[in-house]
Amino acid sequence: MALGAAILWWMYRGFDWASLRLAFTSGIDWTWMWLSFPFGILAQVFRGLRWRQVLRPLGYRPRVSTSINAVFLSYASSLVVPRSGEVLRCGVLKRYDGVSFSRGVGTVVTERVVDMLMIGLLSAVVFVFQIPVFLDFFARTGVSIGGFLSQFTATGWLVTILSLLLIVATGVALLRRYELFARTRSLIDELVQGLLSIRHVDGLGLFLFYSVAIWVCYFLHFYLTFFCFASTAGLGMDVAMVAFVVGTFAVLVPTPNGAGPWHFAVKTVLMLNGVAGDDGALFALIVHTVQTLLVAVLGLWAVVALGMTRKLKVEITK
């Protein structure tokens, strides 16, 4: 949270806040913002349905409502503690539908692997068609993997490698000392079962549909907001796709909902396409704030809905 706040302060330290009040009162076409909401909700609904489908080969059949509400709650909780939602949603299914926690975590990892493949494929396609834009972005932001690695001296590499080896050796020693190997092995086995559940998923076509639909909805949730602002309404879908991909990688930085890094990434892409700096900053601030509020509202809905959900004692069918 401190990191996100620091980046936001740095980005908006000279921002004209009067333009924000003007934008909210008369500078935004809110119709497009409202039209983007169903896609933001659908993305999470499809994720809940896909997760339920992945759990079925393991013998679990959680209720549709519980699966979806668990996803709603997971995204909302990650606003407070980044990445906590992935663990929380597994706990929700264990509490209400009796799904093994460790196997649930395994399926979540499987989902993330699939998502990485999807965003990797999307990034590759966008990169090929937008190479000049990406190169300009890297040059202006100073992002260079080669330049970063070149700062390491031979001593730096040695210290880094030794530190990693020490961490691994310490972990192994602690596990042996406290005789946790048996439990760890059991946990790992269940995680692996969750990971491999995709091999036996019922209806591979439906699984692929959910996987594609999730990211299509994410993109439309973002793209439709371009038409809310005069400064971005004229930009094409290709620009929105570049901003979407760059912003997706930016949210990997552990700040609440990517606050800070996402603003910086999207603003930079917009500026590279002729949008004034203040207009780009205004777009990023409003869109991120409104979409974050939507995530929070869905989380509150999930809390209420789960509070009225009856717990089930589910037996494994496999």
Angle value at C-alpha 118, between 149 and 33, nearest 5 degrees: 105
Domain limits at 80?
A: 28-307
Domain assignment of residue 102, yes or no: yes
Nearest to 288 by CA among 85, 86, 59, 7: 7
Domain assignment of residue 318, yes or no: no
Q: Is the pLDDT of residue 298 over 90?
A: yes
pLDDT bin (cut points 50, 70, 90) of residue 197 is low
DSSP 8-class letter at 143: -
Whole-angstrom CA distances from 237 to 105, 220, 227, 232, 273 are 35, 10, 11, 11, 12
Domain assignment of residue 263, yes or no: yes
Which pLDDT value is given to residue 97? 85
Domain assignment of residue 279, yes or no: yes
| CA gap 150, 262 in Å, rounded | 26
Which pLDDT value is given to residue 316? 46
Which pLDDT value is given to residue 318? 46
* Arithmetic mean of pLDDT over the chain: 79
Which runs of consecutive H residues, i.e. helices, occur in the chain? 2-12, 17-22, 30-55, 64-77, 84-97, 101-129, 131-141, 145-150, 154-177, 181-195, 204-223, 237-250, 261-272, 277-307
| CA gap 236, 247 in Å, rounded | 17
Domain assignment of residue 65, yes or no: yes
Which pLDDT value is given to residue 187? 52
Domain assignment of residue 12, yes or no: no
Domain assignment of residue 121, yes or no: yes
- Give how far the C-alpha of residue 243 lies from the chain's centroid of Cα atoms, to the nearest Å: 15
What is the number of domains present in the chain? 1
pTM of whole model > 0.85? no
Residue 294 corresponds to which tokens in the numbers above? 């939507």
Q: Is the pLDDT of residue 199 over 80?
A: no
Domain assignment of residue 19, yes or no: no
